[in-house]
Amino acid sequence: MTEQVTEQARSEAKPIPFIDLAAQRRRLGARIDEAIGRVTTHCQFILGPEVRALEAELAKFCGARHAVSCASGTDALVMVLMAKGIGPGDAVICPAFTFCATAEVVALLGATPVFADVDEATFNIDAGSLERAIAKAKRLGLKPKALIPVDLFGLPADHDAIAAIAAAENMFILDDAAQAFGATYKARPLGTFGHATATSFFPAKPLGCYGDGGAIFTDDDELAALLVSLRVHGHGKHQYDNVRIGITGRLDTLQAAVLTEKLKIFPDEIAARNKVAERYNNALGNVATVPRIPDGYTSVWAQYTIRVEPARRADLAAALKAEGIPTAIYYPKPLHRQEAYERFPYVEGGLPISDRLAQEVISLPMHAYLDEPTQDRIVDAVQRALSR
């Protein structure tokens, strides 16, 4: 009888949010309302003073010379490739285990994404596979122009190894830090690696706005000036002097106001995310493969992703859902298996790690406001589901 009552209590427990934006909103309180109110008072909704102020704070935060805000993380990627003249005949090396935007921007410009495999421990692009992808591009008669490493789930890629390969091949590095702004690699913040770094401020990201938003970081003065032009239709001296083909890629002033307030508490939230991840790791390492952070790296834990046997993943998700605990799968198909991208080349021998991860990964609730009792409820449910 007691066991039946316990099961009923679990099934009737209050649902847990996967990412608790409401808790953050309560913490910020009137500060967000006041920031938005300032914008609605001055009515400079496009490229208002809050945008310039945010760009200065973002650059200061990560140590980059320039921060150029834009309308989304995807726009951040495409603007950099446009500025570098990437187009038909060019190859851009991308990991296969990532969100589609990484390769989408390459294809949109008429260039060819060439997929490399990822490292099994970090889920980030594997240096050996990267070299093989470059060789594959050359065999196909393509010119390897750029590579886009992804700092997946908040963890930096191996930027020293990537930089060495890129330098040897004279390739441009665009770091896709859409999930990892705020993380560090060997004591340096992301935003200072490669020739440019793109990030996203989608609401679910560790630093997110109240809609779409993004930014590009670079130490290259000329590139920064090009990006400022490209985000407003390729303007020259003024908005009706178009000197190149551009896009509408501006960050709304309202979003800049929101991000400025969120950036003030961001370091504290990063610390809280790491505390949550440490507790997960300590509690779940006996029933699942938990993520590990290499020495010299820090993560912002955009996702907390474990690996389980493929045959058990669906049952785990169902068991947690029955107890009001959401999960997510990032990503159920690597890019080379998706209809839109299966025609593009990848390394000889296939992409076995990407294929394997797609069958094993499952992400648990992760955010800076996940209190210990709630986390213990999640851990208990995972332990019971995987111990059956």
Q: Tens of pLDDT along 81-115?
A: 999 999 999 999 999 999 999 999 999 999 999 99
Domain that holds residue 181: 26-261
- Rounded CA gap, 148 and 95, in Å? 8
HSE on the CB side for 117, CA within 13 Å? 18
Asked if residue 277 is part of any domain, the answer here is: yes
Q: Are residues 254 and 141 in the same domain?
A: yes
Asked if residue 142 is part of any domain, the answer here is: yes
**Please, which residues bridge with residue 151 across strands?**
none
Q: Are residues 246 and 204 in the same domain?
A: yes
- Tokens 């913490």 correspond to 27
Give the pLDDT of residue 237: 85
Give me the residues of the chain with pLDDT under 50, please: 1-2, 4-5
Q: How far is CA 33 from CA 2, 37, 200, 257, 261, in A?
A: 48, 6, 23, 10, 10
Alpha carbon 111 to chain centroid, angstroms? 22
What are the backbone dihedrals phi and psi of residue 157, each rounded to the nearest 5 degrees, phi first?
A: -75, 175
Give the pLDDT of residue 388: 80
Say if residues 253 and 94 touch (Cβ distance below 8 Å): no
- Picking from 233, 261, 289, the residue at the C-terminal end of a domain is 261
Q: Are residues 277 and 243 in the same domain?
A: no
The CATH number assigned to the domain holding 317 equals 3.90.1150.10
Q: How far is CA 22 from CA 19, 36, 255, in A?
A: 9, 17, 17
First to last CA, the chain: 20
- Picking from 244, 261, 278, the residue at the C-terminal end of a domain is 261
For residue 283, the SS3 value is helix
DSSP helix, strand, coil percent of the chain (3-state; round to 5): 45, 15, 40
86: tokens are 């990437």
- Among candidate residues 181, 201, 204, the one with its CA nearest the CA of residue 193: 181
Over its C-alpha atoms, the chain yields an Rg (Å, rounded) of: 22
- Rounded CA gap, 333 and 99, in Å? 10
Q: Are residues 7 and 51 in the same domain?
A: no
- Rounded CA gap, 309 and 287, in Å? 10
Q: Are residues 168 and 57 in the same domain?
A: yes
The CATH number assigned to the domain holding 225 equals 3.40.640.10
Q: Are residues 255 and 275 in the same domain?
A: no
Asked if residue 20 is part of any domain, the answer here is: no
Give the pLDDT of residue 199: 98
Q: Are residues 208 and 230 in the same domain?
A: yes
Q: Are residues 150 and 33 in the same domain?
A: yes
Asked if residue 18 is part of any domain, the answer here is: no
Asked if residue 276 is part of any domain, the answer here is: yes
Give the pLDDT of residue 352: 98
Q: Which residues contact 319 (CB under 8 A, 6 or more apart)?
A: 381, 384, 385
Q: How far is CA 16 from CA 132, 210, 365, in A?
A: 43, 21, 8
For residue 170, the SS3 value is coil
Query: H-helix or E-strand containing 114?
Result: strand 112-116
Q: Are residues 77 and 95 in the same domain?
A: yes
Q: Are residues 71 and 213 in the same domain?
A: yes
Give the pLDDT of residue 6: 63
Say if residues 287 and 350 touch (Cβ distance below 8 Å): no
Q: Are residues 221 and 274 in the same domain?
A: no
Give the pLDDT of residue 1: 37
- Picking from 194, 226, 261, the residue at the C-terminal end of a domain is 261
240: tokens are 């009706």
- Among candidate residues 269, 301, 272, 306, the one with its CA nearest the CA of residue 288: 306
Number of domains in the chain: 2
Asked if residue 184 is part of any domain, the answer here is: yes
Q: Are residues 46 and 140 in the same domain?
A: yes
Give the pLDDT of residue 303: 98
Give the pLDDT of residue 5: 43
What pTM does this model have?
0.95
Asked if residue 19 is part of any domain, the answer here is: no
The C-alpha angle with vertex 134 and arms to 86 and 342, in degrees rounded to 5, equals 75
